[in-house]
Chain A
């Protein structure tokens, strides 16, 4: 079953780097911890991070965050820029566009971290 788009969050974590460019999956782990603590949290994977979850380690990090209750969104534009197909993503990830991400940034009271 495809994951549903998220519309409201307390924490929005934006990851732009992959394990090669200095990111890794630590924000996905942070999202998992926040979700386990009862917070509404979404992770957005943009730029290099969008393609960083098609491997085994990235897919596992996405699954763990999602199973804890975090929403995992992947920027479709960043995927296309890197010739990655939506179908190569873990099924727990939701492909999003700029409007979806902007909407989350405009949620009243949301705390945003961008890396």
Chain B
């Protein structure tokens, strides 16, 4: 039986490369909404987080954001909790990659379970294996 070729990566229907900084706009909300919608459609989705987007899945974020003083009882899940929830709900169709170089450069080394830290040298292989790649830039 032929084995997997060395260096081969899993393909997907949609690869979103997210380099936009999380706190510059509502881009993370947009991307998470679209990832969720694509997964609900049964698509195989991968996200490659670079730049400050590598901070979205840090374990130290915990499950919730600091309280909103205008509504202390309202729940506000952290990005790590939202992404962790998506990974738990779609274990076979969602992969969340974190660029190792960008993460280490920002001190974001510890990520929630299920997040894969990858060398950027592998990025081109994931692009080549995806049916569609969307670059959400602005780092």
A contact face: mostly helix, strand, loop, or mixed: mixed
**Would you give the shortest CB distance from A57 to chain B, in whole angstroms?**
22
The answer to whether B27 touches A47, judged by C-beta atoms less than 8 angstroms apart, is yes
Residues of B in contact (CB 8 Å), total 21
Residue interface mask A91-105, B partner, CB < 8 A = 1: 000000111011101
What is the total of A-B residue contacts with beta carbons within 8 Å? Answer: 53
One of A16, A99, A108 near B30 (C-beta < 8 A)? A16
- Point out the residues of chain A lying under 8 angstroms from B137, CB to CB: 114
- Residues of A contacting B30 with CB < 8 Å? 16, 46-47, 75, 78
Which A-chain residue is minimally distant from B30 (CB atoms)?
A46
B41 touches A99 (CB 8 A): yes
Interface residue tally for chain A (C-beta within 8 Å): 22
| Given known A-B contacts A47-B25, A47-B26, A102 and B37 have beta carbons under 8 A apart | yes
- Taking CB atoms, residues of chain B closer than 8 Å to A78 are 26, 30
Residue contacts A-B, CB under 8 angstroms, 5 given: A99-B37, A99-B41, A105-B38, A112-B134, A114-B136
